Structure 1
Amino acid sequence: MLRGVLAVVAVAGFAGCSSDDSPEPDRTTITVDTMRNALLKPADVGPTWKTPTESAAPAQLVSICGADTAPATIPGKPSVVSAPLSDEGTEGVQSLTQHALVYEDAVSAATALATLRTVADACPPSVQRPAKSGEREEPAYTETAATQPLEEGAWTGFVTLRTKLYDKAHPATADVAVTALARGNVVLVDQYAIYRLGRSDASANPQFSADWKKLVGTTLSRIG
């Protein structure tokens, strides 16, 4: 069995006192440093998680619709902080790809979220793909996708959930959750994926829903 995703404990911050002569700090703008510190590190998730040696180019996001669709383009011109993680076992692989898009203002962030939601809404509910050969060899599969609204405290956005079933000659499943959540001037885009070998039914990953929600919730709790 794959190692389960471990929850981390959020660290509570504290605010200093200010005099009448000192203006209150602007707590509505989230900084790049705040997001960099909030994104999960391997030790935050579990002892078998690592930073992969190869990862996607920093100028692109993950694929929202899956199948053969290209990674989503980063909307606008935000500062981008990324943190990919992976856990490779003998019976499958888990991965967590995190992108924090830090914009100058809330309007830009809201526009970016709407752009990503437009991409998600256009995802086909089901696709079938033949086997691939060559460098990216992959058996034939069927993949379903569904998008629904998502709210986590003051963060609002959506999640696209995908399930991939490979042909019976190569039994395996893949479950993917792509979340996009905005608050203030930031859009957080997370992709949690779990691939399991030797399974041939869509219910092979009973903890999938709880795991992606736990990972996203932990990151948000670290922002404050």
Structure 2
Amino acid sequence: MATRSLRLLTLGGVAVTLALAGCTDDGDAARGGTYTTAMLQAGVLQPADIGSTWKRPEQTPPPSSIMQLCPGAAARPPIPGSPAVVTGVLADEGDKGAQAFEQIGLLYKDAPAMEKAFTSLQDTMEACPPTASRSAGPAKESSEAGYTESITIDPLVSGGWKGFVTQRHKIYEPTYPGSADVAVAVVGQGNAIILTSYAVYWVGEHSTGPEFRTDWNRITGTVLSRVDAKRSK
């Protein structure tokens, strides 16, 4: 994905890549290889891997789409191609807010199929508007208050994994003060694509601090390092 990565570096004037905590570059020999379902499954996090208050929902239906990439009421893009799918969903809810983590591993028959799928996801990302807003609708149609949401996009490189991360910041209308931050990472290597989504929802006034980036960086880095550790055995 070298040519696609160079294209990503130009988005928003970004001139650097982000490195994920917990991941190291094992050299060119480890890049572009073949992954298996068992390898992607090894990266699925358990509640205890993140924190004592996290839980796994009782029912998690198999997804037919990936995480929302764009701000506003954009639909979740469909899963591109015909991959085997590995998923995991975790949540932590409290009186002052909530956190959610979702991961999806997509396993394709070969690297060209992965490249084609990755390109479609990148095209969706590149078409995202920089901001979006929405007025509160009737209660029977939506329980979400009105908001304004912005997005930043950065290239993401960790070892042989290359892709991008979208970070969305949502501020709700003053009548229902609150905010939300969502980071969605999309990286590919060999015949696999891994997507992670880390979201934090705050009730009341709150400013995004450096801990949000630190947390999604650490969690996503843990997923990738476990997948690669399984592959190296």
Q: TM-score normalised to the size of structure 2?
A: 0.80
Which whole-Å CA distance do the structure 2 matches of 1:109 and 1:130 have between them?
38
Which whole-Å CA distance do the structure 1 matches of 2:60 and 2:54 have between them?
15
Residue of structure 2 in register with 1:171 after alignment: 177
Q: Post-superposition shift, 1:53? A: 3.2
Answer 1 or 2: which has greater helix percent: 2
Which whole-Å CA distance do the structure 1 matches of 2:61 and 2:209 have between them?
25
Residue of structure 1 in register with 2:127 after alignment: 122
Identity of aligned residues (%): 39
Runs of 4+ in structure 1 off by over 4 angstroms are 54-57
Which whole-Å CA distance do the structure 2 matches of 1:210 and 1:204 have between them?
12
Q: Post-superposition shift, 1:45? A: 1.0
Residue of structure 2 in register with 1:61 after alignment: 66
Residue of structure 2 in register with 1:80 after alignment: 85
SS in structure 2 of the partner of residue 207 of structure 1: helix
Q: Post-superposition shift, 1:54? A: 4.8
Q: Post-superposition shift, 1:100? A: 0.1
Q: Post-superposition shift, 1:146? A: 2.0
Amino acid of the residue matched to residue 215 of structure 1?
I
CA RMSD of superposed structures (Å)? 1.9
Q: Post-superposition shift, 1:92? A: 0.5
SS in structure 2 of the partner of residue 208 of structure 1: helix
Q: Which runs of 5+ in 1 are unaligned?
A: 1-7, 11-26
Amino acid of the residue matched to residue 86 of structure 1?
A
Tell me, yes or no, if structure 1 residue 215 matches structure 2 residue 219: yes
SS in structure 2 of the partner of residue 127 of structure 1: strand
Write the mapping of 1:67-216 to structure 2, written as runs, cut at 5 A: 67-132=72-137, 133-134=139-140, 136-199=142-205, 203-216=207-220
Higher mean Cα deviation, 86-95 or 27-36?
Answer: 27-36
164 and 55 in structure 1: CA distance in 2 versus 1, 3 angstrom threshold? farther
SS in structure 2 of the partner of residue 223 of structure 1: helix
Residue of structure 2 in register with 1:16 after alignment: none
Higher mean Cα deviation, 49-58 or 92-101?
Answer: 49-58
127 and 54 in structure 1: CA distance in 2 versus 1, 3 angstrom threshold? farther
SS in structure 1 of the partner of residue 140 of structure 2: coil
Residue of structure 2 in register with 1:48 after alignment: 53
162 and 9 in structure 1: CA distance in 2 versus 1, 3 angstrom threshold? closer
Q: Post-superposition shift, 1:166? A: 0.4
Q: Which runs of 5+ in 2 are unaligned?
A: 1-20, 24-31, 229-233
Query: Once the two structures are superposed, what CA deviation does each residue of 1:69-108 show, in whole Å capped at 9, x if it has no partner?
Result: 1111111100001101111111101000100000111111
Q: Post-superposition shift, 1:41? A: 1.2
Q: Post-superposition shift, 1:218? A: 0.5
Q: Post-superposition shift, 1:113? A: 1.2
Query: Once the two structures are superposed, what CA deviation does each residue of 1:103-161 show, in whole Å capped at 9, x if it has no partner?
Result: 11111111111110111111110111000222531111000012221101110000111
Which whole-Å CA distance do the structure 2 matches of 1:9 and 1:149 have between them?
18
Amino acid of the residue matched to residue 126 of structure 1?
T
Which whole-Å CA distance do the structure 1 matches of 2:161 and 2:41 have between them?
17
Q: TM-score normalised to the size of structure 1?
A: 0.83
Which whole-Å CA distance do the structure 1 matches of 2:61 and 2:179 have between them?
22
Which whole-Å CA distance do the structure 1 matches of 2:61 and 2:123 have between them?
22
Which whole-Å CA distance do the structure 2 matches of 1:56 and 1:89 have between them?
24
